[in-house]
Amino acid sequence: MSSARCVSPRWLAAADVPVASIYEDIDQPVMIDERPVSFWHAVTGGEPMPTHIDLARLLAAYHAAPDCPCDLATFEPLRVSESRLAKANGVDAKDLDFLHDRIADLTNQFDHLDFALPVGPIHGDAHTKNLLTDRGQVVLIDFEAAAIGPREWDLLPTSIAVQRYGLPEQQYQEFAATYGFDVRAWDGYPVLREIREVTMTTWIMQNVLESKAIADEFALRVACLRERDSERPWHFF
């Protein structure tokens, strides 16, 4: 199998990691207007509804999949946030300066973290919204942010959801037990969590001109980062 700069569904299928299935009757990808295009079977939906236990189970299987044939990029967690700041509109200069400074500091801290889990292929955006049900089984989707990086990154969204979005602690404990590792017990967790929250803040920053609600949410998130407040609830968008 030739290498690719994206996660290969055939590799994951061979490793018994349930993902959306690619259409096998066409030699893919097809180049259209110099862009690669792939074709997939439609996901059926239905029951069972995906849960945090499903997410932990699929992440554990994905992280354990051997012999990755994909030429994935090296994980750089704050590179996208830096590019978002460079294109920001409607954002106070003091907020931009603060975020620039935090990114510089956190990038340095990230480079010195001692990770507990092996480095390898990660999903990059692992939360239950990236699970679907297909023909009676839960599958993992959306590998756009896949990279070679620390597996702890894929465990962060569920842990952050407890304090920011009201996920019940019991669901997090089930998630951690199913995966086999509690990322919150790792010494580097506070740094990696703040990095994740900076990426979440710059993501919503891109849309501050769309509505007052989004602008208010951006202001809330920046205030939490400034004050090192890890408890105040955030809102889904």
- pLDDT-derived band at 160 (thresholds 50, 70, 90) equals very high
pLDDT given for residue 26 in this prediction: 85
Mean pLDDT of 102-111: 98
- Cβ proximity of 138 and 48 under 8 Å: yes
**56 pLDDT exceeds 50?**
yes
**169 pLDDT exceeds 70?**
yes
- pLDDT-derived band at 3 (thresholds 50, 70, 90) equals very low
Each residue's pLDDT tens digit, 4-46: 456 788 899 889 999 988 888 888 889 999 998 888 889 999 9
Q: Which fold has domain 9-227?
A: Aminoglycoside 3'-phosphotransferase; Chain: A, domain 2 (3.90.1200)
What amino acid occupies position 89? Answer: N
Find tokens 């980062």 and name the residue: 225
Q: In the chain, pLDDT over 70 holds for what percent of residues?
A: 97
pLDDT given for residue 10 in this prediction: 82
DSSP 129: G
pLDDT given for residue 5 in this prediction: 54
pLDDT given for residue 6 in this prediction: 67
- pLDDT-derived band at 2 (thresholds 50, 70, 90) equals very low
CA–CA dist 1, 172 (Å, integer): 37
CA 3 to chain centroid, in Å, comes to 23
Find tokens 């809330």 and name the residue: 220
Please enumerate in sequence order all residues whose Cβ is within 8 A of that of 13, keeping only pairs 6 or more positions apart, or say none. Answer: 19, 21
pTM here is: 0.92
What amino acid occupies position 182? Answer: D
The average confidence (pLDDT) of the chain is 94
Each residue's pLDDT tens digit, 178-227: 999 999 999 999 999 999 999 999 999 999 999 999 999 999 999 999 99
Question: What residues does each domain of the chain span?
Answer: 9-227
